[in-house]
Structure 1
Amino acid sequence: MNLTLEQIQDFKGRYPKQIWSLFFSEMWERFCFYGMRGMLVFFMISQLKFGDEQANLQYGATQAFVYAFTFVGGLFADKILGFRKSLFWGGLLMITGSLILAANPHDFFFLGISFTVVGTGFFKPNISTMVGKLYRAGDSRTDAGFSLFYAGINLGALLGGYICIAIGKGEMFSKLIPETLRWNIAFGLAAVVMVISLVNFIFTQRRLGPIGLMPQQVSADGSVQVQPKWKVYGTYLLTLLFVPLIMVMVSVPQYTDYFMYTVGPLTLIYLFYEMSKVNASERKKLWAALVFIMFSIIFWGIYEQSGGSLSIFAAKNLNKDLLGLDPNGVNNSGGAFFIIFLAPIIGLLWIWLSKRRLEPNTLIKFGLGFIFLGAGYYVLFATRFFADLQGITSLNIFTIALLVITFGELCLSPIGLSIMTKLSTEKLQGMMMGLWFLASAYGQYVAGIIGAGMATAQEGSTNMDAMLTYTEGYRQLGIYAVIAGLVLIAISPLVKKLMQDVR
């Protein structure tokens, strides 16, 4: 089906047909990713015998590289592979990493994780960019489309986030799976769903028209030239050479410090170089994009305690008063559960408000995201008032906190994906999407440091002391989130001028 870009973008109704196929590819990839993410800290503590502080730092380092490599994946997609080949190559690497972990997670943990890190870098930013290509510039339905797409992300996160950790811990299928094989099966399941994701994408390509094809070079005489094969195969080879490097960097958190101190400034220098080649209007939009990126670092640094300190908090300080569910499973998948139901509703709300010219601008949405995030962390602080003498508190109250935080996430994350496509120039789409995820990398890095600080404070103390230490930390994070939201709302008029016609 040889559709043109105009035919794809000239769709009727709220959503283009192609978004549903991309929805399912992303859903299964997120099952793989969030399944892995949910198992990291618990596996390191229970199986690899890491201490709480080391596990938090290790988690932060791993997640930082996952998101940092999305910048590399976006760059290679822009310049050489195109979005489709980048996505497929990333999926193959993720399958490889999952199979390594399924074979022997104890001895080859960091090798398997490194394949997954590099693979995610090629997969994640490029499928989001293709969603943006389904819409014309200025289409008011774009935010709703990304909200729906974000629901797909979280359906995968819900399933993978709960099922994988529950299988590994023996909370699910314990009578069917021998205890010695539980973690192997949990990691292997991630590989199976990733295969489903890639098979779905193979059929999806038929309806994407020119979206995601390899970039072509136009010579001086106007003829079009395809990418030289040596560049394509060289990219694949270079990617494989990255794997042992990432393995060393991830296994030693101190190396992550050096990397994070270096990659951010170098990336900004490269971005400034690219900005020097665009016109004044495009440059202002890129400056506006940088404001969103910088604030997102603060947001994810606070939000991403879910994979680190909250994972430990769930294991040690939560009961099972919510339908007898496993607290770690709820922590990993609760937010995703709420997003599945709320994302389409919020997306339709933006459309309804837009038609009546009442929709808040993107800056206000971001500010509200921070305020909801802060309120959610205050609910986490309030769990201390429901604790027993052993420091065990209510999973019900914890889940309410996840609901409040989810409202904050829905105001920021899907809108962030959308605004990057709107503010980016045509030739920098993949790079800017990668830069958005690089900001997430810094957020993950900061989250690991914060979580390690909480773990250090509780060494040698009782479970009640640990609970009080964690909840006090969450109260402070709530204050920082609210302040950041108010600052963002205050500077919104200035940033709106930089955004110009983008809303």
Structure 2
Amino acid sequence: MQTIQDIQNFEGKYPKQLWYLFFSEMWERFCFYGMRGMLTFFMVDQLLMKEDVANLQYGATQAFVYAFTFVGGLFADKILGYRKSLFWGGIMMIIGSIILAIDPKQFFFLGIAFTVIGTGFFKPNISTMVGTLYKADDSRRDAGFSLFYSGINIGALLGGYVCIDIGKNYSWSIAFGLAGIVMIISLVTFMFTQKNMATIGLSPLLHLQDSKRKSYEYATYIGTLLAIPLIMTMVSSPEYTNYFMYTIGPITLLYLAYEMRNFSLQENKKLIAALIFILFSIFFWAFFEQSGGSLSLFAANNLENDFLGINLEPNGVNNAANSLFVIIFAPLLGLIWVWLNVRKVEPNTVVKFGLGFLFLALAFYTFYSTRFFANIDGLTSLEVFTLAYFIITFGELCLSPIGLSIMTKLSPDKLQGMMMGMWFLASAYGQYVAGILGAGMSITNENATKSEKLIAYTDGYQQLAIYALIAGVVLIVISPLVRKLMQDVK
């Protein structure tokens, strides 16, 4: 029987198991990004929310999605294991999609509640399984995460464009239902390939009697279902989101401090380094995730539908352009990191993070510059808008796949799922702040012209460019200090 050591001793650039996880995650991301791309526009167009309210609601919904990745990671570490966690999460996402397909207006928040919890159980644990395919000191890990990141963006590209196009032009029920269908494909793919994973992702309670272990697992499943009404209530009201976000972060940090008592000084230094990465990632995602909120409404209101003579859905481009560029450039960038590593000139992880913010700053300045290409009606260039996404992609590739990798490197084995959950919890805070920033840019006057909306949003993007530039410079300056905390981790 194959062991974890056999998997980790693979030859070549990537272990074959990476491809199995690649395809499962690809279809799950179709489901997730398909639904994410529809949210803000659907709330304005179908639920008749004002733009500032829709931005806040988007931030609240996405914040809960990512906050529950911490919960999912915790239950995977302590009870279910990674495999059962992601399978249970997939089932919940399928149910959520079916509910939304039946009547997206009437059952909107109920369907979203199922999706929130489902993603929480699925997302952090498949990423953690990728990390376990590599030995701790394997320099190929970053390239592997970059390839994984490229693969999941195929799903994001397809879902991001197809779902919003079907929803706007044909049927919202079909669009939400399609997200559920591809999630089924994801779970079937995982079912047929998990036999090649050795013992990776199995329950941490296998040492217990079957009856006792199953009682813990059933309690987790039942508790999840009982939480649905609570999640539905909290997601539907941004006020409850405020209370949740004010408490979940401090509680998480206190719990981490409690767990840190069980580890050595050297291990705790690495955990502190991980927390620095997590803190800066909050700011990154607060800016980056305008894509699902303010940029979605900007695309709907202020973009022409002509791209180099081709007629395209502007909101589809908003949802899919970034993923397309990730697919093209993530493998290339991953190979560049390997090439630089062989020559011992690869930038360290902290500097990569800093570069991510510098690209982010340039991208938002490009979003700001779209105002200079607008016509008298307030419609501006889809080409310049797409160029900004081209730039922002390199910022994402310098931070997000590297962030996934560094969490698995800096975390002790017993905290792998929890720290991956904290990484996504940082994304939750980023999403939450993104909604607030987007609401601040929007004009509450329902009679505002397209030109007035253009000026309001691009003013906001200019401010984000300045803040991103400052964050990038700070990260590069403090990189020697963080490197000392990381010790032998590269």
TM-score by length of 1: 0.96
1:371 to 337, 341, 358: 358
**Distance (Å, rounded) in 2 between the aligned partners of 1:214 and 1:319:** 52
**Distance (Å, rounded) in 1 between the aligned partners of 2:480 and 2:137:** 20
**Distance (Å, rounded) in 1 between the aligned partners of 2:255 and 2:343:** 41
1:285 to 259, 270, 273: 270
Partner SS state of residue 235, structure 1: helix
Does the aligned pair in 1 maintain the 2:31–2:179 contact within 8 Å?
Answer: yes
Report the equivalent of 2:221.
236
Residue 107 of structure 1 pairs with residue 106 of structure 2: yes
Report the equivalent of 1:176.
none
Partner SS state of residue 14, structure 1: coil
The list of structure 1 runs, each at least 4 consecutive aligned residues, that deviate by more than 4 angstroms after superposition, is 224-227, 457-460
- CA deviation string 1:213-267 (max 9, x = no partner): 000366xxxxx75662211100000111121111000101100000000110011
- Letter aligned with residue 156 of structure 2: A
Report the equivalent of 2:423.
436
- CA deviation string 1:248-287 (max 9, x = no partner): 0010110000000011001100011111111111000000
Q: Residues 483-494 of structure 1: matches in 2 within 5 Å?
A: 483-494=470-481
Residue 299 of structure 1 pairs with residue 284 of structure 2: yes
Partner SS state of residue 280, structure 2: helix
- Letter aligned with residue 276 of structure 2: V
2:295 to 305, 310, 318: 310
* Residue-pair matches, total: 487
Q: Residues 417-432 of structure 1: matches in 2 within 5 Å?
A: 417-432=404-419
Q: Residues 157-176 of structure 1: matches in 2 within 5 Å?
A: 157-170=156-169
- CA deviation string 1:113-164 (max 9, x = no partner): 0000000000000000000000001100000000000011111100000000
Q: CA deviation at 1:320?
A: 1.3
Q: Residues 185-224 of structure 1: matches in 2 within 5 Å?
A: 185-216=174-205
Does the aligned pair in 1 maintain the 2:269–2:485 contact within 8 Å?
Answer: yes
**Distance (Å, rounded) in 2 between the aligned partners of 1:130 and 1:41:** 32
Report the equivalent of 1:173.
none
**Distance (Å, rounded) in 2 between the aligned partners of 1:217 and 1:131:** 22
Which ranges of structure 2 fall in alignment gaps of 5 or more residues? none
**Distance (Å, rounded) in 1 between the aligned partners of 2:261 and 2:469:** 35
Report the equivalent of 2:36.
37
Q: Kindly, what percent of the aligned residue pairs are identical?
A: 67
- CA deviation string 1:401-447 (max 9, x = no partner): 00000000000000000000000000000000000000000000000
Residue 393 of structure 1 pairs with residue 393 of structure 2: no
TM-score by length of 2: 0.98
Report the equivalent of 2:313.
326
Residue 272 of structure 1 pairs with residue 257 of structure 2: yes
**Distance (Å, rounded) in 2 between the aligned partners of 1:86 and 1:458:** 45
**Distance (Å, rounded) in 1 between the aligned partners of 2:446 and 2:339:** 51
- Letter aligned with residue 315 of structure 1: A
Which ranges of structure 1 fall in alignment gaps of 5 or more residues? 171-178, 219-223
Q: Residues 473-484 of structure 1: matches in 2 within 5 Å?
A: 473-484=460-471
Q: Residues 68-79 of structure 1: matches in 2 within 5 Å?
A: 68-79=67-78
Partner SS state of residue 358, structure 1: coil
Report the equivalent of 1:495.
482
**Distance (Å, rounded) in 2 between the aligned partners of 1:198 and 1:321:** 38
- CA deviation string 1:266-316 (max 9, x = no partner): 110001111111111100000000000000000000000000000000000
Q: CA deviation at 1:343?
A: 0.3
**Distance (Å, rounded) in 1 between the aligned partners of 2:449 and 2:313:** 22
Does the aligned pair in 1 maintain the 2:51–2:444 contact within 8 Å?
Answer: no
Does the aligned pair in 2 maintain the 1:458–1:469 contact within 8 Å?
Answer: no
Residue 138 and residue 97 in structure 1: after superposition, are their counterparts in 2 closer, same or farther (change >3 A)?
A: same
Does the aligned pair in 2 maintain the 1:41–1:308 contact within 8 Å?
Answer: yes
- Letter aligned with residue 491 of structure 1: I
| Coordinate RMSD, CA, aligned | 1.0
Q: Residues 82-161 of structure 1: matches in 2 within 5 Å?
A: 82-161=81-160
- Letter aligned with residue 462 of structure 1: T
1:257 to 233, 237, 242: 242
Q: CA deviation at 1:466?
A: 1.1
